[in-house]
Structure 1
Amino acid sequence: MPADTVVEGASFGEWTGRWWNWALSQPIEPFLDPDGRICDRGQDGPVWYLAGTDGSFDAHRECVVPEGKYLLIPIINMVQMRVPATAHLSSAACEGLRRSAAVNNDNLASAVVLVDGVKVPDVTAFRVRSGRCFELAARNANAAADGYWLFLRPLPRGRHVITVGANYDSGRDRGYGTMVQNFEYVVHVGGRTNLTSL
């Protein structure tokens, strides 16, 4: 879905903030999941969150997703935080967070996404930035996010494969400036699909 998508009254940008709150509030951060074993943790509501990685490994995950769920998937993304959170973060402080979150995403080197073997065209059209800063309750922080995302309408029942490869090249090693992201999900919508040969 396009970057101006609204789901259940919330913008694409608001959903990415909710994704960060989900990801950082779990006992094990889902972007460290090696194989999908924790993909159902903390999932509630109309949008099912999938995770990338922290750039330190390639992941192949399997996940059972209920029917009728939108899927929100980071292609490659960043969040910047200011601790402790304040209810009245100044506009200048928020803008500083937004600029910091943007640095690596301004230097996207490549991004390829396949859904069931079909290449998603022009991934750069799916860059989503925080319109305003949000509270990251799990870290008692104010935060801003920036990145490339895939927001999918509910997939039909059955087995689907989502493959993501992306990397930054900001010319700096600090702050994930050369991060490489490679992961694949086998998503079983409506229950696990067992393929057998006859």
Structure 2
Amino acid sequence: MCIKTLSFICFIYSFFTFSGLANNYQPIVVGVNESIAGKSLDQYANTWWQLTQTMSDRSSPVRDSTGEFCGVNQKGNVWFLAGGYGTSKIKRHCIIPYGKHIFFPIINMAYWPEQNVSKTCDEVKQEAALNNGELYFVYAELDAQSIPNIRNNRIKSKECFDLHALLAKTQATEKVYPSATDGYWLMLRPLAKGVHTLKFNAQYHHDNLVHGHMMQDIEYKIEVI
């Protein structure tokens, strides 16, 4: 994932495995048209980017190389995981409370205008869409079981958002609107207690564009307690 006016990372579909909360087998991956706690998945993608702005560089889970900051500013029914800025290969360890959905980008882009540059919401969405139509590969697995049909899980902002909306709740800051994101994301249902391994990777293949060959290769050891 990259920062500047363009920024990145990515996500899903469904395979059958036991989530630990139901009494039978069900899809562990939430469908792209489902809602969790009254919010659509594109709204969670917007929130993910807003959340990244509430942390210092030192405590950012996106810059985190070990998982030490996995729990920073986590609230609510959904736990946010991260890839890395730019081309990244990272292994992390993360402790997650039982009963949380898990949301993360496999690879994605975000766009917001530079200061004093005027853009419409539609223009920002078009910028965020760059590279996502030229996906070279995308893959994810949970506990050594591959998740199929991830190309069906392209999620993009339906409504533009203020990148600093969450940051503004704790400190004075300028509004960054319109912002938009576009990419491949996964929302997992709550996992059973215990240790899980989550791996995801992807790469764009778009010559002559900014970050047109960005790659993500991320692995999480997740402890649900």
Q: Same fold, TM exceeding 0.5?
A: yes
Match of 1:153 in 2: 189
Whole-Å separation in 2 of the counterparts to 1:9 and 1:177: 34
Q: Which runs of 5+ in 1 are unaligned?
A: 191-198
Secondary structure of the structure 2 residue equivalent to 1:155: coil
Secondary structure of the structure 2 residue equivalent to 1:145: strand
Q: 1:103 to 1:173 in 2, by over 3 A?
A: closer
Whole-Å separation in 2 of the counterparts to 1:135 and 1:55: 22
Match of 2:198 in 1: 162
The percent of aligned pairs where both chains have the same amino acid is: 32
Q: 1:32-181 alignment to 2 at 5 Å?
A: 32-83=63-114, 93-137=120-164, 138=167, 140-142=175-177, 143-174=179-210, 176-181=211-216
Would you identify which runs of 4 or more consecutive aligned residues in structure 1 move more than 2 Å?
82-85
Amino acid at match of 1:155: L
Deviation of residue 57 (structure 1)?
3.1
Deviation of residue 101 (structure 1)?
0.5
Amino acid at match of 2:127: S
Choose from 46, 50, 59 the match for 1:17.
46
Amino acid at match of 1:19: W
Deviation of residue 128 (structure 1)?
0.3
Query: C-alpha deviations, 1:14-55, integer Å up to 9, x for none?
Result: 011001111122112321110101000010111000000113
Secondary structure of the structure 2 residue equivalent to 1:63: strand
Across the aligned residues of Structure 1 and Structure 2, the Cα RMSD in angstroms comes to 1.7
Deviation of residue 5 (structure 1)?
1.7
Q: Do 1:83 and 1:140's aligned partners in 2 also have CA atoms closer than 8 Å? A: no
Amino acid at match of 2:213: T
Whole-Å separation in 2 of the counterparts to 1:55 and 1:19: 17
Q: Do 1:84 and 1:140's aligned partners in 2 also have CA atoms closer than 8 Å? A: no
Higher helix fraction (1 or 2): 1
Deviation of residue 111 (structure 1)?
0.5
What TM-score do the two structures reach when normalised by structure 1?
0.88
Deviation of residue 103 (structure 1)?
1.1
Amino acid at match of 1:181: Q
Query: C-alpha deviations, 1:49-73, integer Å up to 9, x for none?
Result: 0000113431000000000000001
Q: Which runs of 5+ in 2 are unaligned?
A: 1-29, 168-173
Whole-Å separation in 1 of the counterparts to 2:87 and 2:149: 26
Match of 2:171 in 1: none
Q: How many equivalent residue pairs?
A: 184
Higher strand fraction (1 or 2): 1
